[in-house]
Amino acid sequence: MERDIKTLLAQMTLEEKASLCCGDGFWNTTALPQHGIPAMILTDGPHGLRKQLGTADHLGLNESIKTTCFPTAAGTAASWNRELINKIGVALGEECQAEDVQIILGPGANIKRSPLCGRNFEYFSEDPYLSGQMAASHIKGVQSQGIGTSLKHFAVNNQETRRFNIDAVIDERTLREIYLASFEGAVVEAQPWTVMCAYNKINGEFCSQNKTLLTDILKNEWGFEGFVVSDWFAVSERDKGLAAGLDLEMPTSAGIGKQTILDAVKNGTVSESLLDEAAERILRIVFRSMDGKKQNAVYDKTAHHRLAKDAAAESMVLLKNKDKILPLSKSGSIAVIGGFAKQPRYQGAGSSHINPTRIDIPYEEIEKAAGEAVIRYSAGYALDNETVDGAMINAAKETAARADVCIVFAGLPERMDSEGKDRKHLRLPENQLIVIEEIAKVQQNTVVVLSNGSAVEMPWEGAVKGILEAYLGGQAMGSAVAGILFGDINPSGKLAETFPVKLSDTPCYINFPGEKTKVEYREGIFTGYRYYDKAGVEPLFPFGYGLSYTDFAYSDLRLDKKEMPDSGELSVSVTVKNTGTVTGKEIVQLYVRDVESGVLRPPKELKGFEKVELKPGEEKAVAFTLTKRAFAYYHTGLADWYVESGDFEIMIGTSSQDIVLTETVHVTSTVKEKKNYTIDSTLADIKDEPAAAPLLAMMSGNLKGGEELGLDLDALFSSIKIQSLIAISGGKMTMDTLRQMLNEMNG
């Protein structure tokens, strides 16, 4: 419905407009019934709806209604399936409609800087392109149902340690290329109704009052049309936040925020026009939610559970399958070890904790799927502590030794994998480690099923034949695991994060979580696989890695052109064939490498992906379109994305470290890079300038005698400062002619 919001604002008092910009209670916005403005309900997500029963408590943590618990983002990102993520979003939107919720808080697009971050289970990836694509698909799905999303936590919120006031010190290029890029992709492509600002500071300024972040970049540069909401209790100074672009404070501040706004407008430190702009943004979303309301909405709990199973199955990653131990035979005897088999870890702890409509128990689902196989169980370890219980271990070993194959369920309990705190190490609990190691000694056919929200170390990897990373697979993870173990489902997930061999291998090991109230992002743009590739550090399992029960072959990589301007588009196609015996899904990954760059760049960066399903013997052509951003880096001098003219490799891989096909395209920049040569620039700086050619030739002749001294003339020549040429030339070069040459080169 069309409404004249500006006329409505003109009819409102200053106090009413200030009220709109402040929450009412824990989950509600402020209603102004005298103006026909209802309250909206904003409720936790992102992988399920967490709406509290009855009246919310002051921390928003009490019991919630039953809703579908889908896999967390750490898992769904491993599906690399935009369509699947969209379907989950649609289902979440349907549940919000049925439960009278207008905005669900999510998805989380923060980058996985370190696997230690306690909230990594709620985030998609270490790669900004993959993260942005997953977030955009999620947002589109939810909002197709007339329900808003809240893209969070904007930005550089990559740890739980001192998350309310930690200062993330980061250079502009790293900020743009890594930590903002995932949000940018989601905002530009999907336009979430709201964006949630983070708790932390960036370079000394709280995100909740960072004008560069909230207004200059988000609203003006990216064209964000919705409103900015604070993370709960994130607001420091409400007047500064409003001036910076923070539209809505949540939850209620018991009138403090409203009074601060009123005082600021009255004393002139914040203009009323800024308040009007914030109120207008909020009203547009309020009315959009009113118009999107579906009367008597319901949803199909059974259908959503089936979708949760599909999502879990595609999110799981088969990491090891030695001797093709999987899929298991549906005959013989199978030992099932581990408390997680009967009390599954299927979701994260904290604000996203869902009260599921039902739960598939892995052990029970294995019994259903096992056919004639005999199933025996032993706990092996306690779930509520790390105490090594010799009697439990011996019982587990005896059970495992008597079976043909053993499945060990292991992973991270909630106390080690939760919002609010970061992990201290990457190890599994000690009692689980001992169980795996001891069982592997007596049973050579051992498979480990992992339930965890982030990467873990696996010192036992070489002792087992199979590893299935199930992540936090939601309420249907048990049936999905059983389906994969027995071959009723072909695994198709691939890692959206790198699994390191050990913690000290990680890019930010020395600088995580920082000192006192500051953390420095000294690894710069080299996060995740970018670092492992550049440093030559071998991971346990690389980004993009995952096995299948079938095999795929790649051929016929084609580019529609060999040369192009950066303003053009490049069409890429590659053929993929299923060369195995069962139907499977393959994730085709496209990386781009700048062959020779004048700035520091990663060896490769993900710039495209597609998931394709193929029957045995079937082949399909997969197409990609690359534009300027696929080749560009963020040029801080230009304050824009810039492509350096030169060759770029288009690389097709099955993972970040398994590149199977490569072609090259030459891209020419259409943007003239601003030059700023000075008398202190070196000869190496000007070596490619036509205006400097005569001078360089003359200097080369003058330095020939240096060879007798055993000098590396190229190195010596390149390091000389331009102003030194006056003396070296013996008077042939003057300061005037030098400055004239500099002016010509600088344009």
Answer whether the bond into residue 153 is a cis peptide, omega within 30°: yes
CA distance 634 to 408: 46
Backbone angles phi, psi at 604, to 5 degrees: -160, 155
Residue 559 exposure: Cα atoms within 13 Å on the Cβ side: 21
Tell which phi-psi region holds residue 27, choosing left (phi > 0), alpha (psi between -120 and 50) or beta: alpha
Give CA angle at 121 (118, 122), nearest 5°. 100
**Pick from 80, 165, 152: nearest CA to 119:** 152
Write down the residue that tokens 């060896």 correspond to: 603
Return the structure tokens found at 625. 């379109």
Cβ distance 89 to 140 under 8 Å?
yes
Answer whether the bond into residue 38 is a cis peptide, omega within 30°: no
Helices (H) then strands (E): counts for the chain: 21, 27
Q: Is the dihedral of CA 200, 201, 202, 203 positive or negative?
A: negative
Integer CA distances (angstroms), 600 to 324, 595, 632, 644, 669, in order: 42, 12, 12, 12, 18
CA distance 204 to 250: 22
Q: At what angle do helices 390-401 and 430-442 cross, to 10 degrees?
A: 30
Tell how far CA 426 is from the center of its chain.
19
Residue 409 contacts by C-beta under 8 Å, 6 or more apart in sequence? 336, 337, 338, 339, 340, 341, 344, 362, 449, 451
Cβ distance 349 to 418 under 8 Å?
yes
Backbone angles phi, psi at 297, to 5 degrees: -70, 140
Q: What b/e sequence results for 545-555 when a residue is b if at least 16 CB atoms lie within 10 Å of its CB, and e otherwise?
A: bbbbbbebebe
Backbone angles phi, psi at 585, to 5 degrees: -115, 130
CA distance 392 to 384: 14
Asked if 100 is an active-site residue, the reply is no
Backbone angles phi, psi at 702, to 5 degrees: -65, -25
**Pick from 482, 508, 413: nearest CA to 453:** 413
Edge to edge, what strands does the sheet with 374-378 contain?
317-321, 466-469, 446-451, 405-411, 333-337, 374-378
Q: Which of 127, 167, 231, 505 is the catalytic position?
A: 231
**Pick from 461, 93, 483: nearest CA to 314:** 483
Cβ distance 342 to 393 under 8 Å?
no
Cβ distance 739 to 705 under 8 Å?
no
CA distance 276 to 727: 65
Catalytic residues: 231
